[in-house]
Structure 1
Amino acid sequence: MLTALGLGPAEEEIYRLLIARPNCGAEELADRTGHARPDVDRILATLVNSGLASARATTSTADARTLFTAAPPAVALGPMLRQRRDDLRAAEIDVLALVEQHRTTGNDCASDGVIEVITDIDAVRQRFAQIQDSARHEVRSMMVANLSVVPHRQNQAGYDGLGRGVGYRVILQREALSTPGMVAEVIAATAQGQHIRIADTVPVKMVIVDRDLAMVPLHSNQNTAAASILVHASGLLDMLVAFFESSWERAYPMPPSMIGDDPGTSRPSELDELDARVLALVLAGLTDLAVARQLGLSRRTVQRRIGQLMAKAGATTRVQLGWQAARKAWI
């Protein structure tokens, strides 16, 4: 944790050990950490020179050695922490100035700094991660099937954002649920805090970060191509936000039975976990074959389960099954 203050892992380890055990010699520190004695001597010299530790020689002639004690953290690390804060604040001011300069001067691919065109696939991937890393409050996204530039499972920046407390809302095209492994990915993402809804159609893939930036495809009807437009704060961005929100209201919330057991929800006692997931996927619009592939079952097993669900609900058609499932609060 102290690496942010400029300490290396080994230096931090020995400093922490000196906090817990004052007046340690180099030999004891080497034994406790497993580091070679010359490395320990070098680290101790660094700590002493930086004011993080002090050294004193023993007065005993029978046991002449040098003992080391950690300097108080508030005294030794406080100024370093303040300096890092000042450096970060200065860097933040510089970044804001650069952002304003970029916005006002524009470039060859933008009009008044509102849009930025990115065509190289590596640059698109990098910028996609960067804008998520910059998120402070919420990331909204619309996902289509067959994503190839940054597949859902490879969006590490999204998982990092969730870890920082950034909210994520995702509208997922229904067809994407038929992609092998997608249901498992959706379940895992939901467990980590993403809010996901299903839509029959998603006309365009899109990601919106706070109300600052959005990324959409450059070309019409090319949702899986790399070429993208980065949209900065503008009336155009406001329109994209409004479009997302209206689409979110019309999208189908992920039923708890598809996600699995959760402390805030409970599965109906009439259904076991497998029946609940089969029902949720069928009502989400997947074919029997797609349900079978997602759950690792045979198509015949899925059809048999659906038949049992229809009998249990007193339904003769799948439309009636959906109605009865809603009435019985199965979904």
Structure 2
Amino acid sequence: MLTALGLDEWDESAYRALVSVGAADVPGLAQRLTLAEPDAERALRRLERHGLAAQSSGRPGRWVAAPPGVALGALLTQQRHQLEQAELAAALLAEEYRATAAEPAVHDLVEVVTGAPAVAQRFLQLQLGASDEVRALVTGNPVVVSGTENDAEEQAAGRGVRYRVVVERSVLDLPHGITELTAALGRDEQVRVVDRVPTRLVVADRALALVPLTSHRSEPAALVVHADGLLELLSELFESVWRTALPLRLGASGVAEEPADGPDATDLEVLSLLLAGMTDASVAKQLDLGLRTVQRRVKRLMGLAGVTTRLQLGWHAYERGWVARD
């Protein structure tokens, strides 16, 4: 837990041990941590450099822990300062990049990435850099990029980045396909299925897109698209496939396709109350439903309408006749 402050696991264990016992000598600490005495002493010396431990002035050979509230607070302050400096440097570099790339050359608008490690790294960066939404088209034979399995995907979803993914039906037959889709749906990602997607594609926000290339070469390759016009084209390609795809849902029997047959009576009640200005909690109380049930129904309605915000849902509800106009 303290690795973010520059401590390794042995440093942290040594500090926790000192905090719990108050004071200890090197042999006692080594025995407690099942370490060799030289390793225990090195851990104590590192703690001393971080201001987390000191040798007792009254009892030679004994080490005492610095108060966590003071010592760790100082380290946190130092880390915050370093992060602020890094953020400032990143902002200055971004501004410099924008200034030099105000009118980029044509060859800079599309980047060709070659080799599996390079493609995987760009895919990782694409997701870690997303702040709003990641959209993906996933084929049944992903070479390097997979829209359903990636550590960065879990991290991005955990910090609030929305995911909309369309998979080919053949993905459901892959060895780990259902497992990966179940995990994605469990993170509240929106997943839909079609018989076939036209290409593999990942779009991060409206800033970057990655298109893995299909070829018979030994090395995988991909295009990273920066150009506004091409990005809009790829975004519209995704949206057109999304509109024709069927939502996947996670039920008691596992992952199943959900026919886009429109909202049921309860959905319409929920929608009408929300459009009347009621909160989710008030709607749940009014209809004697659980709060999570209301939220799940709203997500389902957004999926049926093919929208990502509640404002869009209200507009589509009127357009599709789900609610009456006054």
Structure 1 length as normaliser, TM-score? 0.65
Deviation (angstroms), 1:171 = 0.7
How many Å separate the matches in 1 of 2:45 and 2:142?
A: 53
Partner residue in 2 for 1:155: 150
Partner residue in 2 for 1:56: 56
Partner residue in 2 for 1:121: 116
**Is 2:48–2:54's contact at 8 Å kept on the other side of the alignment?**
yes
2:234 is aligned with 1:240: yes
Partner residue in 2 for 1:264: none
Partner residue in 1 for 2:220: 226
Partner residue in 2 for 1:251: 245
Taking a change above 3 Å as real, the CA distance of residues 282 and 178 of structure 1, as seen in their structure-2 partners, is farther
2:89 to 90, 94, 103: 94
Deviation (angstroms), 1:127 = 0.7
Partner residue in 1 for 2:30: 30
Deviation (angstroms), 1:3 = 1.7
Taking a change above 3 Å as real, the CA distance of residues 241 and 152 of structure 1, as seen in their structure-2 partners, is closer
**Is 1:138–1:209's contact at 8 Å kept on the other side of the alignment?**
yes
One-letter amino acid of the structure 2 residue matched with residue 201 of structure 1: R
Deviation (angstroms), 1:40 = 1.7
- Superimposed CA distance per residue, residues 129-177 of structure 1 (whole angstroms, 9 cap, x where no aligned partner): 1211222332111112211123456533223333444332111122433
3-state SS of paired residue (2:210): strand
**Is 1:132–1:139's contact at 8 Å kept on the other side of the alignment?**
yes
Deviation (angstroms), 1:118 = 1.8
**Is 2:148–2:184's contact at 8 Å kept on the other side of the alignment?**
no
Taking a change above 3 Å as real, the CA distance of residues 174 and 104 of structure 1, as seen in their structure-2 partners, is farther
How many Å separate the matches in 2 of 1:117 and 1:99?
A: 22
How many Å separate the matches in 1 of 2:126 and 2:154?
A: 13
Deviation (angstroms), 1:104 = 5.0
Q: Which runs of 5+ in 2 are unaligned?
A: 261-326
Deviation (angstroms), 1:253 = 0.5
One-letter amino acid of the structure 2 residue matched with residue 54 of structure 1: A
RMSD (Å) for aligned C-alpha atoms? 3.4
How many Å separate the matches in 2 of 1:42 and 1:232?
A: 49
One-letter amino acid of the structure 2 residue matched with residue 122 of structure 1: P
3-state SS of paired residue (1:211): coil
How many Å separate the matches in 1 of 2:7 and 2:143?
A: 40
**Is 2:247–2:259's contact at 8 Å kept on the other side of the alignment?**
no
Deviation (angstroms), 1:11 = 1.2
Taking a change above 3 Å as real, the CA distance of residues 211 and 21 of structure 1, as seen in their structure-2 partners, is farther
**Is 1:104–1:113's contact at 8 Å kept on the other side of the alignment?**
no
2:164 is aligned with 1:173: no
How many Å separate the matches in 2 of 1:142 and 1:94?
A: 35
Length, aligned pairs only: 258
Deviation (angstroms), 1:112 = 7.8
Q: Percent identity?
A: 40
3-state SS of paired residue (1:201): coil
Structure 2 length as normaliser, TM-score? 0.66
**Is 1:103–1:113's contact at 8 Å kept on the other side of the alignment?**
no
2:4 is aligned with 1:4: yes
- Superimposed CA distance per residue, residues 243-280 of structure 1 (whole angstroms, 9 cap, x where no aligned partner): 433432332001x4xx332xxxxxxxxxxx4xx87xx4
How many Å separate the matches in 2 of 1:283 and 1:245?
A: 18
- Superimposed CA distance per residue, residues 43-82 of structure 1 (whole angstroms, 9 cap, x where no aligned partner): 22332343212222556xxxxx533222122322233222
2:260 is aligned with 1:260: no
How many Å separate the matches in 2 of 1:206 and 1:97?
A: 31
How many Å separate the matches in 1 of 2:100 and 2:220?
A: 26
2:22 is aligned with 1:13: no
